Structures are given as structure tokens and as C-alpha cells.
Amino acid sequence: MGTEKRITAADLSKHDTTSSAWLAVNGTVYDFTEFAPTHPGGSEIIYRFAGKDASGEYNQIHAPTLVEKTLSAKRIGPINMPPPQSTAKPTAPKPISTPVSSVAVPDAPLSLTDKLNLDDFERAAEQVFSPKAWAFINGGSNDLITLGLNRSMLNRIMFRPAIFRKVASVSTKTTLFGCDLAIPAFICPMGTTRLAGPEAEIAQTKGAAASGSIQCISTAASFPLDDILEATPKQAWFQLYVNSDRKITEALVRKITNDGRVKALFITVDLPVVSKREADERVKADNKAVTNPALSKGNNSQGVAKSVSSWFDANLSWDDIAWLRGLTHLPIIVKGIQRYEDAKLAMEYGCDGILISNHGGRAVDGAVPSILTLLEIRKKCPEVFSKLKVLVDGGFRRGSDIIKAMCLGASAVGFGRPFMYALQHGQPGVEHVFNILRDELETGMRLCGMTDIDSDPSPKYINTRDLDYLVDGDELPPLRQKL
């Protein structure tokens, strides 16, 4: 590239309109004119940086390879000015102990190995994440009611431990959708992951593999899908947001089907439209340092959540399961089940599984906490469990929480935010979270008198009286043979 003509800052600044929008990203100028209206994060952010260097904003959210791969045909050339010093608050997380970037290590509140539980990761994240990252990741919708209930309801289930059960040796292994799992836990799909740490989904997929588990890759991942799959040694699941342009989704589903490493397809249905996330909006409103007045459409206070959701298809229906089925042979799992009637419909429409989820309290606020939906499905339509795999996420933070869900018939539990907080430490952080969960799971099983997570869990091991009155129905019949 030595002889390539360099673009000057003056050249770049002339392309600051919707009809010619050039942006510099990491030393290279690209023509974003055609791409801007289709940008999943909204066109406004692109236009705001038209004619300018967007590296600071871009790198918080996306991996360097994303623009290189997506817009290689629109590359104009190298820029001859250094990337600007960000005028916004710093947003890249600062590592605590295991450095994941060249940022200086601050006074360490807790080293990685000193972190004893998943809440330790959350507390540390609050200290080291930028305000924007913390608001987006930790936040939920409206008054955070469902966010809080997800966890507090789990805490209202009590164990009924059995004694004299020869628990010296226990097995936490399971198999799901053709994947062997060391514990029945997986990394939930999460978008904009790079806000939490530069290695983002790469660290998550490698960390999951090293721990014998699996990541469900989000449609809205920070890294290009190819990069994540290349880093995935064996197996991954994929989460689908259906694009209003169905052709884009069809190509994507065919691609992941043909890849071979993707073993299951999760279609997310609990967020047909954008939800209201106020912490997120407030931080965004605070961060108006760089604007392009010529292009401003008046409202640039929408937060990360609002802008990322504008490309979702809000017209999905149960009939679209047949459309998906026509595109892939992979197991299809509906993510975002929040009532027993929909669990039954998923069964009737031939889905292979459901993931009970309210998006971690990020969809409609006031929705039933996930553990209660699981209880409701057990009481109202227990037949679902023999036809479908039932997974659950939302507020799970302990190995013992996994046992509670398994006792109610779940096949596996998803963990979201803890694996974002783990990214402070990159891959070692992800592995440490899995280690903690496995250790807590084994200990909890032994203390409850279980030896095999696949066959032992049953309602006999838990007391749900504190929740039962919230769902009417009969006493729970056991699902598994051994009590």
C-alpha cells in the first residue's frame, strides 16, 4: 500500500452528506453511502460521522475485521491523519488482573482467581466498565421489575436434600442437540459484546470450548460470523433475529446450516420491537460530543438498545416456523417463551425446543420471571417436556440454580450477563465462570443427594410452595425415573 494515494482530512470532510458519506475507520476511508441506510445500528450513527474519523465509536462496538470484510468493495484508501483522541468518555473496559489489551492495569480490587462467584464479576464490571457499557449490559427495560424478579423468584425455591446417597462421585455431563456438554449450562447469545472486552465472542467461544460447553452466537455479534466460527473448535449454536429483508435471513440460515459447526438454531421472538431502556438512553444523551448538525434528524438520544433493534422483523408469526424449517435441517428452538400456551404452540408447530426467556428482563417489563414460566409449563402442559427440549435463562447465577431448573424439567440453563462481565479477563475469565458453575453444581448435587444431573433431578428435591400459588395446577408428577 506504500504507493497508494492517501486521502487527506480535507478530502474526507467533503463527503459528509447522505448522498456521499465517507468515514475513516482505523486508518482507512470507506464509502458508506449505500450501506448507511441498511446499517443494523441505524443510519443516524453513520451520518453523524460522515466526513470524519469514526474509529473511536466503531471500535467500542465492532471488531476491526467487520468493516474490512463487509465493505472491502467500498474501500477508498488510507487516510493521512492519526485517529482522533476520543472526546467521549472512555468506553473500552480496563482489565483488572489478566490484561486483555494494552490499557494500564488499575489498582486491582479482585484478581481473577480471587473471584469466588458470578456476583464478584458483576461488582468488578461496575467498577471497570465505561458508563455506556455498564448501562447497556447491566440494564433492563423500564423499571427493571422482571430483571429483579428473575433472580429473586429463583431464590424462593428451596431444596429438599436426600441423605445417604453415596455422592462421592457425581456426573454433571449431558448431551443436547447432538452436543456433549460438561455441565448443562451455555453462554446466551448477546450482541454488541465488544463493549465488555475486545476479544468478545472469540473469547467466549474459545472459553466455552475449553470448558466443554457451548456459546450461542448472536446475529448481532461484534465479530463477523466467519471469525467466530473459525475460532470455534467444534460446536456452536446460533441465534437468529429475522431481518425485515427476508433474503438476508435466508442467506444467513443457509450459511450456518452448511457450516457444520452450528448444531442448533435459536429464533428470538421476545423482542419484536424495541423496548425502553432508560439507563442506556441517558448515557447516550450524555454522549453527544460528536454530531453532524447538517445530518441530524433531531433525535439522537436513542440508546444502544433502540438503535440496534430497528432492523428486526416485527411481523413474525407461528407460520414462519415452516418457512425456517424449509431452510434448514438444524433443530429449531424458539427463544423467548413467556407463557404455557406458547410452549404448547411450539410443540404443535414442530419445534425441537423452547428457550424460556424474557431476554434477561430486557423485553417487556413486568413479564413473568423465567423460573415461574418453567413452573407454569410443568403444571399446565407437562406433555411438552416429552416432545421438546426445554431450556431456560434469566437471572441464573449459581450452580445450585441449575439444579432447581433441572428439577423442574429443564434440559439446560443459559447464562447471559455473567459471560459479559467475564470478558474483563478475556478467555480466562470465561473459563473461570464455567469452573465456578461446575464446582457449585457438583457441590450442590452432592449436598442434595444427587449423583447424575441427567437422570436424578426431580420435583421431589425442591419445595416450590412459595411460588405455587402464583400458578394454579396439580402437584408436579416426576419426569425422570430415579427419585
Ligand X SMILES: Cc1cc2nc3c(=O)[nH]c(=O)nc-3n(C[C@H](O)[C@H](O)[C@H](O)COP(=O)(O)O)c2cc1C
Binding site for ligand X (CB under 6 A): 136-137, 150, 188-191, 218, 220, 239, 268, 335, 357, 359-360, 362, 393-396, 414-417, 420
Q: Among residues 189 and 459, whose Cβ is nearest to ligand X?
A: 189
The enclosing H or E element of 25 equals strand 20-25
Q: What is the DSSP letter of 112?
A: T
Shortest reach from residue 191's CB to ligand HEM, in Å: 3
Strand stretches in 103-209, DSSP E: 158-159, 174-176, 179-181, 185-187
Our finding on whether 220 is near ligand HEM (CB under 6 A) is: yes
Q: What is the DSSP letter of 171?
A: B
Please tell me the distance from the alpha carbon of residue 402 to that of residue 205, in angstroms, as a whole number: 21
- Residue found under cell 494515494: 5
Our finding on whether 275 is near ligand HEM (CB under 6 A) is: no
Is 359 designated active site?
Answer: yes
Q: Among residues 137 and 354, whose Cβ is nearest to ligand HEM?
A: 137
Our finding on whether 351 is near ligand HEM (CB under 6 A) is: no
**Which of 109, 214, 181 is CA-nearest to residue 424?**
109
CB of 197 within 8 A of CB of 423?
Answer: yes
Shortest reach from residue 193's CB to ligand X, in Å: 7
Residue 481 φ/ψ, nearest 5 degrees: -70, -55
Please tell me the distance from the alpha carbon of residue 195 to that of residue 267, in angstroms, as a whole number: 24
Q: Which does 141 bind (CB under 5 to 8 A by kind): ligand HEM, ligand X, none?
A: none
Q: Among residues 232 and 287, whose Cβ is nearest to ligand HEM?
A: 287
The helix-helix angle for 426-448 and 399-407 (nearest 10°) equals 50
Please tell me the distance from the alpha carbon of residue 444 to that of residue 450, in angstroms, as a whole number: 8
Shortest reach from residue 58's CB to ligand X, in Å: 18
Our finding on whether 360 is near ligand HEM (CB under 6 A) is: no
| Per-residue cell: 7 | 486521502
Beta bridge partners of 452: 171
Options 7, 21, 23, 265; binder of ligand HEM; rule CB under 6 A: 23
Options 46, 182, 271, 391; binder of ligand HEM; rule CB under 6 A: 46
Residue 107 burial (C-beta neighbours within 10 Å; 0-12, 13-18, 19+): exposed
Contact range with ligand HEM by CB under 6 A, out of 36-44, 94-102, 230-238, 336-344: 36-44
Q: Among residues 25 and 220, whose Cβ is nearest to ligand X?
A: 220
Options 9, 27, 39, 255; binder of ligand HEM; rule CB under 6 A: 39
Q: What is the DSSP letter of 424?
A: G
Q: Which does 225 bind (CB under 5 to 8 A by kind): ligand HEM, ligand X, none?
A: none
Our finding on whether 58 is near ligand HEM (CB under 6 A) is: yes
CB of 45 within 8 A of CB of 25?
Answer: no
Options 24, 66, 196, 375; binder of ligand HEM; rule CB under 6 A: 66
- Residue found under cell 428435591: 461
**Which of 356, 461, 447, 439 is CA-nearest to residue 118?**
439
Shortest reach from residue 34's CB to ligand HEM, in Å: 11
Shortest reach from residue 218's CB to ligand X, in Å: 4
Our finding on whether 62 is near ligand HEM (CB under 6 A) is: yes
Our finding on whether 67 is near ligand HEM (CB under 6 A) is: yes
Please tell me the distance from the alpha carbon of residue 305 to that of residue 290, in angstroms, as a whole number: 19
Q: Among residues 88 and 345, whose Cβ is nearest to ligand HEM?
A: 88
Site of interaction with ligand HEM (CB under 6 A):
23, 25, 35, 39-41, 45-46, 49, 54, 57-58, 61-62, 66-67, 70-71, 191-192, 220, 304, 307-308
